[in-house]
């Protein structure tokens, strides 16, 4: 490898086109969802006893647990929306530069919209 390549470590100097943002968010949500699996399993396990069911449901009335649930569900929603777009692009839909920009924009809007809906449903 050429060791004299120019190196740019100034993060502020990078450009962040909308396509990079939507793709980066898909990756971050994927990683965080991966880490959250034991949390879901724990809630599922608790929910199968009468006391645990009440307990888990009761947790959701607390502001912190509610905020965590909102974040996790919103991340899942975004990951799915961006994932479906991935599948569409695999099928050859929206693969042009312009289509990519429009797709990223659509995905971000739908992500914000589903986060809002999940918030309304939880609160």
Partner 1 sequence: MVTSATSLGRSGLHDWIIQRITAVVLAAYVIYFLGFIFSAEVIEFSVWKHLFSQVWFKVFSLLALASIVFHAWIGMWIVSTDYIKPTGIRLVFQAFVILFCFACLIWGAQILWGV
Q: Which residues bind ligand HEM (CB under 6 A)?
A: 26-27, 30-31, 33-34, 76, 79-80, 83-84, 86-87
Taking the alpha carbons of 19, 89, 27, 114 in that order, is the dihedral positive or negative?
positive
Backbone conformation region of residue 94, classed left if phi is above 0, alpha if psi is from -120 to 50, else beta: left
Q: Cβ closer to ligand HEM: 33 or 65? A: 33
Distance in Å, CB of 72 to ligand HEM, minimum? 10
Half-sphere exposure of 57 (CA within 13 A, CB side): 8
**Which residues between 24 and 63 bind partner 1 (CB under 8 A)?**
27, 30-31, 33-34, 37-38, 41, 44-45, 47-48, 50, 53-54
- Cβ distance 122 to 70 under 8 Å? yes
- Cβ distance 46 to 53 under 8 Å? yes
Residues near partner 1, by CB under 8 A: 27, 30-31, 33-34, 37-38, 41, 44-45, 47-48, 50, 53-54, 76, 80, 83-84, 86-87, 90
């Amino acid at each position: 490898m050429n060791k004299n390549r120019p190196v740019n470590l100034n993060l502020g100097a990078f450009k962040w086109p909308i396509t990079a943002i939507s793709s980066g968010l898909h990756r971050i949500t994927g990683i965080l969802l991966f880490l959250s699996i034991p949390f879901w399993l724990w809630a599922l396990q608790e929910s199968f006893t009468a006391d645990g069911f009440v307990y888990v449901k009761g947790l959701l009335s607390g502001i912190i647990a509610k905020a965590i649930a909102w974040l996790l569900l919103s991340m899942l929603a975004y990951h799915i929306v961006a994932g479906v777009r991935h599948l569409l692009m695999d099928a050859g839909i929206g693969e042009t530069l312009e289509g990519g920009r429009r797709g990223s924009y659509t995905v971000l809007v739908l992500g914000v919209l589903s986060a809002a809906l999940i918030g309304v449903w939880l609160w």
